[in-house]
Amino acid sequence: MKEEKEEILEYLFRKKGEASTEEIKKEFNFINLDEILNSLINENKIIIENGKILLTEKGSIEGEDIKNKHEFVEDFLKNIGVPENFAHEKACEIEHHIKEDKYKSLIPLSEVKEGEEVEVVLIRGGRGFVQRLCDLGLTPNTKIKILRKAPFGPIEISVRGYNLALGRGVVSKIWVRKKSS
């Protein structure tokens, strides 16, 4: 039932936290939909009011997490050449199998602090863009150190013994893993 619950939370989150019961019934034709909804209510993740299903704060946080996870997987799949519509579908299946702690240790490079060392996990973007960064040495598992962050976004990193400056847009497309985990 975990998967079904997650899908409903994600759907609600994408709908800005509310949807009518009708809509949910139409979107998810699970046999045990009532049971699932009740379970979500018991967990304090949704409430039902005047025929509308609303996300609670707790549900909203979880919904957002699932949505992020979904997008992460989808980007990853597109990145390795899986066609777009297929990537979306597959991402729905895979997202439920990702262990929370593993996923959480992945962060965009933009969120890493000055002076920290991280490992490159994946780069989002078109093939040319990804190849370009790889050609400069930012291949998966490469250790990089954040030397400094300039005001408003660009950062300077040290990679493979030299220093590289990356603009804000570029930085947000590089996903890294903290070394400790």
Partner 1 sequence: MGKKKEFVIALAGNANVGKSVIFNQLTASHQIIGNWPGKTIERKEGYLIYKGYKIKVIDLPGIYSFSTYSEEELIARNFILEEKPDFVINVVDAVNLERNLFFTLQLIELNVNLIIALNQMDLLEKTGLTINIDKLQNILGVPIVPTIAIENKGIDKLIEKCIEIYEKDIKVKPFEIKYGKEVEERIKVLLDQLPENSSYPKRWLAIKLLENDEDVLKRFKDEKIISKAKNLAQELENIHGEPISLILTQEKYNLSNKITREVLIKKEKKFNFSNYFDKFLLHPFFGYIILLILLFLIFYSIFGIGSIISDFLDTIFEKIKTILLNLPISNLSKKIFVDGILDGVIGGLSVALPYLIPFYILLSLLEDSGYLARMAFFTDSFMHFIGLHGKAFFPLMLGFGCNVPAVLGSRILETKKQKFLTATLATLVPCSARTIVILGLVGVFLGFKYVLIVYIIDILIIFIVGKIFSLLVPGKSYGLIMEMPPLRKPSLKIVLRQSWFRIKDFIYFAFPIIIFGGFLLQILSLTNILNYFVNLISPFFTKFLGLPPLTSIPLIFGILRKELTLLMLFSLFGTEKVTSFMTPKQIIIYSIVTLFYFPCIATFAVLRREIGLLNALLITIFEIIFAILMGGLLNFIL
Q: Decide: is 84 part of the binding site for partner 1 (CB under 8 A).
A: no
Q: Smallest gap, in angstroms, from Cβ of residue 92 to partner 1?
A: 19
| Contact positions with partner 1 (CB under 8 A) in 16-75 | none
Q: Smallest gap, in angstroms, from Cβ of residue 68 to partner 1?
A: 21
Q: Decide: is 111 part of the binding site for partner 1 (CB under 8 A).
A: no
Residues 6+ apart with CB under 8 A from 58: 43, 44, 45
Q: Decide: is 130 part of the binding site for partner 1 (CB under 8 A).
A: yes
| Residue 29: exposure state from Cβ atoms within 10 A (0-12, 13-18, ≥19) | exposed
Q: Decide: is 115 part of the binding site for partner 1 (CB under 8 A).
A: no
| Contact positions with partner 1 (CB under 8 A) in 137-156 | 137, 139-140, 142, 148, 150-154, 156
Exposure string for 68-105, b = 16+ CB within 10 A, e = fewer: ebbebbbbbbbbeebeeeebbeebeebbeebeeeeeeb
Q: Smallest gap, in angstroms, from Cβ of residue 128 to partner 1?
A: 4
Residues 6+ apart with CB under 8 A from 121: 106, 140, 141, 175, 176, 177
Residues 92, 159 contacting (CB under 8 angstroms): no
Q: Decide: is 100 part of the binding site for partner 1 (CB under 8 A).
A: no
Which CB, 1 or 169, lies closer to partner 1?
169
Residues that bind partner 1 (CB under 8 A): 80-81, 127-137, 139-140, 142, 148, 150-154, 156, 160-170
